[in-house]
């Protein structure tokens, strides 16, 4: 049996999160905060539906998706108001893992073949609200998408017989027996809808209920038991914590058996405090959570290496890492390129959100897109001119100017270095 996922959905209308596609009752004024709450509390993925009718509302929904993607630590799948290839591109560029095409609309059926050629079938999902649409379009669905999202209660056994594409069921039922029945279906990879999307949803508790019914839920699964590790006299295992992107060592902490399994279950780093003699989830009070990317044991089974996605600073002093005080050795250049890019980008974002008098960056933002584009073009030309000269130092200088102005443009457009890296990796 495959692992199952709990996938809350957010319906966006006029910039707010509403209850359902045919019920505009507001459940959250701040859709971004709701997305973060789902991510922090144990959801495995997020579906976002744009219910807008007009172009300006659609653009606002795309902007909300971008801002959601920056703060959540789970994949996002999004759709709604998709009428042309450009709409699909906007959703994918907003950070969505897949764009959803609604197959109750004939235009979507026409769009998907071109979209699959342009973006790849793995970037596309199809939403259906009736069984006939699946049967009628099963060939094009199989050829052009990698996920089906059902917006209706269906005969799940029949669905499994028609397609082997992973399915997510979005249901309005609040009845546990029916929810369990959906998750027990072999063709279903995830459950979404009203129950899973409650603002105060306790994902861990519901996953426990599923596990008791032998429904395997998505979680990290350790290849070793804690009893196989070589702990110290207090039954503790030291954990070296490293940033998964920059490879910077962030901190050293300890786990006991309970902390280890809590980390495995939740995907958030949990430690044992030797001073307080109790468990603590990193970031529980500060918001500076550490999300697990990988756990590796050393050759002697006595030290754990955790690679994490660190939110904010790892150190209680506010420093990015606990190891910031140099005490011996020769100075050497340990500049990490990605860390430098992200640091400059964060400074640019800070200027955009908190203007500083006399700041050149703020001058560019005040002048707007035309001025920024003009500077990007000018700096690109300067790179070309410098490259024609024999001194490579000029190229280095001009490229630095170009990259800075490109980052200002990125910030204005809501594009992050993660977006660029993912795009390059996909290519």
Q: Write out pLDDT tens, residues 219-239.
A: 666 878 899 999 999 999 999
What is the spatial distance between Cα 209 and Cα 221, in angstroms, rounded to a whole number? Answer: 18
The pLDDT value given to residue 158: 58
Segments of 61-183 assigned E as strands: 76-79, 98-102, 124-128, 147-150, 167-171
What is the reported pLDDT for 340?
84
Distance of alpha carbon 383 from alpha carbon 154, whole angstroms: 59
Indicate the DSSP class of residue 234: T
CA distances from 261 to 257, 266, 270, 282, 302 (A): 6, 9, 9, 15, 16
Q: Is the pTM of this model over 0.85?
A: no
CA distances for 112 relative to 55, 106, 236, 240, 355, angstroms: 21, 10, 54, 46, 43
Q: Where along the chain do its domains lie?
A: 5-212, 226-310, 337-426
The predicted pLDDT at position 113 comes to 93
Please write the tens of the pLDDT for every residue from 347-392: 999 899 889 888 999 999 999 999 999 999 999 999 999 999 888 8
The arrangement of secondary structure in 5-212, i.e. its CATH architecture, is Alpha-Beta Barrel (3.20)
Alpha helices, DSSP H, located in 233-336: 257-266
CATH H-level, domain 337-426: superfamily: MazG-like (1.10.287.1080)
Architecture of domain 226-310: Roll (3.10)
Residue 295's beta-bridge partner residues?
Answer: 306
Residue 252's H or E segment, with its range, is strand 249-255
**Beta pairing class for 5-6 and 188-193:** parallel
Q: Which residue has the tokens 């409650």?
A: 198
In this prediction, the residues of the chain whose per-residue pLDDT falls under 70 are 1-2, 152-163, 219-221, 330-336, 426-427
Q: How far is 382 from 74, CA to CA, in rounded Å?
A: 40
With tokens 């000269």, the residue in question is 389
């Amino acid at each position: 049996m495959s692992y199952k996922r709990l996938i809350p959905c957010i319906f966006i209308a006029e910039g707010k999160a509403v209850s359902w596609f045919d019920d505009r009752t507001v459940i959250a004024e701040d859709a971004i905060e709701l997305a973060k709450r789902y991510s922090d509390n144990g959801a495995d993925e997020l579906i976002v539906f744009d219910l807008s009718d007009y172009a300006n509302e659609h653009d606002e929904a795309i902007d909300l998706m971008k801002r959601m993607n920056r703060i959540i630590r789970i994949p996002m799948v999004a759709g709604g108001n998709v009428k042309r290839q450009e709409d699909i591109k906007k959703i994918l560029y907003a950070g969505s893992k897949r764009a959803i095409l609604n197959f109750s609309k004939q235009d979507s059926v026409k769009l998907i073949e071109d979209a699959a050629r342009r973006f790849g079938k793995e970037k596309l999902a199809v939403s259906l609200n009736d069984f006939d649409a699946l049967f009628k379009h099963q060939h094009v669905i199989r050829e052009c998408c990698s996920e089906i999202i059902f917006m209706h209660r269906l005969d799940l056994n029949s669905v499994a017989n028609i397609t082997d594409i992973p399915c997510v069921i979005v249901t309005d039922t609040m009845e546990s027996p029916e929810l369990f029945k959906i998750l027990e279906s072999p063709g279903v990879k995830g459950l979404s809808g009203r129950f899973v999307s409650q603002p105060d949803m306790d994902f861990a508790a519901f996953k426990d209920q599923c596990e008791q019914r032998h429904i395997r839920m998505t979680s990290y699964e350790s290849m070793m038991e804690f009893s196989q590790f070589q702990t110290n006299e207090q039954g503790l295992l030291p954990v070296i914590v490293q940033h998964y992107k920059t490879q910077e060592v962030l901190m050293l902490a300890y786990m006991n058996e309970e902390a280890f399994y809590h980390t495995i279950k939740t995907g958030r780093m949990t430690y044992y405090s030797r001073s307080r003699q109790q468990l603590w989830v990193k970031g529980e009070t500060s918001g500076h959570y550490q999300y697990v990317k990988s756990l590796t044991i050393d050759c002697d089974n006595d030290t754990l290496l955790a690679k994490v996605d660190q939110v904010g600073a790892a150190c209680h002093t506010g420093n990015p890492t606990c190891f910031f005080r140099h005490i011996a050795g020769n100075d050497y250049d340990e500049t990490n390129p990605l860390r430098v890019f992200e640091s400059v980008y964060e400074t640019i974002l800070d200027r955009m959100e908190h203007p500083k008098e006399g700041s050149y960056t703020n001058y560019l933002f005040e002048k707007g897109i035309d001025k920024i584009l003009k500077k990007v073009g000018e700096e690109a030309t300067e790179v070309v001119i410098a490259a024609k000269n024999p001194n490579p130092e000029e190229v280095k200088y001009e490229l630095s100017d170009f990259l800075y102005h490109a980052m200002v443009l990125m910030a204005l457009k809501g594009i992050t270095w993660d977006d660029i890296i993912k795009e390059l990796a996909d290519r």
